[in-house]
A and B are shown apart, each in its own frame.
Chain A
């Protein structure tokens, strides 16, 4: 599971892309394309390779006016799933 102090980043070959034809955001990775829901897109949009997971959840909490713990829990699940597929790396 991702720690609050981890800095998540998208490795080379993984990028967020706006799919004009289907009018939604997707995550493009080697030989895969994942449709992102608005929450997934919001989380990935905060990942810049500089800020820690904790800083990201705090930003999201302020932006969407939601409890930080709930956001941390949901985002950790989402990001860990991406990590398991090697679509996301963390700097510890």
Chain B
């Protein structure tokens, strides 16, 4: 098969984060701060990415604002010709810093929303005062005029807040909102009992999104990630493994998707040792699930195989124990019925407590931390 150049790159600048959301999709084993790539290494990667064909750069983490050199990194990204997007909780951004990022040419901000009020948001993020701070950051973003996308992660505890989240996006002047039902990757797998939405909640969210898309047409674009354990068709994994995007972890590992490290037999290359070009075109991890040759039945003979690529490889690994299996979200998977039962059970566990994400070097907690 002919491999096309990637369009998007997710740069995970750090795994450090002031929040400790229980649905964090970063791996359970975080990259340590002293292993993080430095400013010059990232600058070089951005240049390589531009030459490789990357158009969209997403600066993420962890919390990218935890990097002291964020301003230099945005400057470097724009010098490399990349459309530069900052994916942030807002914590760590001051008005002065945002103005400097504006001058450096930052194109767009994606702001996460853990809840629509301080009580919910601070409980989910595990960071008291975080919501108020975020609202202040949202006002600065609006005053500066950055295009804004709000990213609301929804689960059993806050799905009832979806209508308010949509209103808030409009009030903030966001052009777009991502209504992202929690996806269970990385750390989030530990919290399925605490966060799994009920099937009824999932259907209600479908309904609200459908109605709001019509009502808010031309005002707010709604991108929707449905609750896939309760779906019948799998997500199109990364738009096709190794076709569209790549992910660079804080310590320089290059991944086909941000959860790929959960597939234990894959070997990942590091930008400290090889060029991005070589890794994208020749890397073993990228080539393992490219195309369709790796597929088993029922995917191999399925008419949708080029449409959904068999679903999510990491999910097949996590739920069936085989990364080449059909994503069990698919009704054609022999494991689909068992998954539905399991999802239902997770969603009715009323006693599960949230297990908060640790930070590099910290152990896991079940209580929110105090503000620093």
Whether B183 is near chain A, meaning CB under 8 Å from some CB there, is no
CB-nearest residue of chain B to A32: B56
Chain A residue numbers with a CB within 8 Å of B175 are: 11, 30, 86
Interchain CB contact under 8 A, A86 and B55: no
Whether B28 is near chain A, meaning CB under 8 Å from some CB there, is no
0/1 string, A11-26, CB within 8 A of B gives 1: 1111001010110001
Distance in angstroms between the alpha carbons of A83 and B218 in the assembled complex: 6
Smallest beta-carbon distance B4→chain A, Å: 9
Chain B residue numbers with a CB within 8 Å of A19 are: 53, 55
Interchain CB contact under 8 A, A31 and B56: yes
Count, A-B residue pairs, CB within 8 A: 57
0/1 string, B1-20, CB within 8 A of A gives 1: 00001011000000000000
Chain B residue numbers with a CB within 8 Å of A28 are: 55-56, 83, 107
Interchain CB contact under 8 A, B221 and A31: no
Chain A residue numbers with a CB within 8 Å of B217 are: 84
| A33 in complex: contacting residue of B56, B218, B220, B221, CB < 8 Å | B56
0/1 string, B97-134, CB within 8 A of A gives 1: 00000000001101000000000000000000000000
Whether A85 is near chain B, meaning CB under 8 Å from some CB there, is yes
Flag the segment in B145-153, B195-203, B353-361 that touches A. B145-153
Smallest beta-carbon distance A81→chain B, Å: 11
Distance in angstroms between the alpha carbons of A19 and B53 in the assembled complex: 8
Chain A residue numbers with a CB within 8 Å of B53 are: 19, 21-22
Distance in angstroms between the alpha carbons of A30 and B109 in the assembled complex: 8
**Most chain B CB within a 10 A radius of its CB, from A17, A19, A32:** A32
0/1 string, B204-248, CB within 8 A of A gives 1: 000000000000011011000000000000000000000000000
**Most chain B CB within a 10 A radius of its CB, from A14, A21, A22:** A21
Chain B residue numbers with a CB within 8 Å of A26 are: 55
For window 63-92 of A, CB contacts with B under 8 Å fall at 83-86
Interchain CB contact under 8 A, A30 and B218: no
| B108 in complex: contacting residue of A13, A83, A85, CB < 8 Å | A13
Interchain CB contact under 8 A, A12 and B147: yes
Distance in angstroms between the alpha carbons of A28 and B58 in the assembled complex: 13
Whether B313 is near chain A, meaning CB under 8 Å from some CB there, is no
| B147 in complex: contacting residue of A13, A21, A33, CB < 8 Å | A13
Chain B residue numbers with a CB within 8 Å of A86 are: 175-176, 218, 220-221
With A22-B53, A84-B217 as contacts: A33 and B83 at CB distance below 8 Å: yes
0/1 string, B67-87, CB within 8 A of A gives 1: 000000000000001010100
Smallest beta-carbon distance A25→chain B, Å: 12
For window 16-49 of A, CB contacts with B under 8 Å fall at 17, 19, 21-22, 26, 28, 30-33
Chain B residue numbers with a CB within 8 Å of A84 are: 217-218, 221
What 3 pairs across the A-B complex have the smallest Cβ distances?
A: A13-B147, A21-B53, A86-B175
Residues of B at under 8 Å CB distance from A? 5, 7-8, 51-53, 55-56, 58, 81, 83, 85, 107-108, 110, 145-147, 149, 175-176, 217-218, 220-221
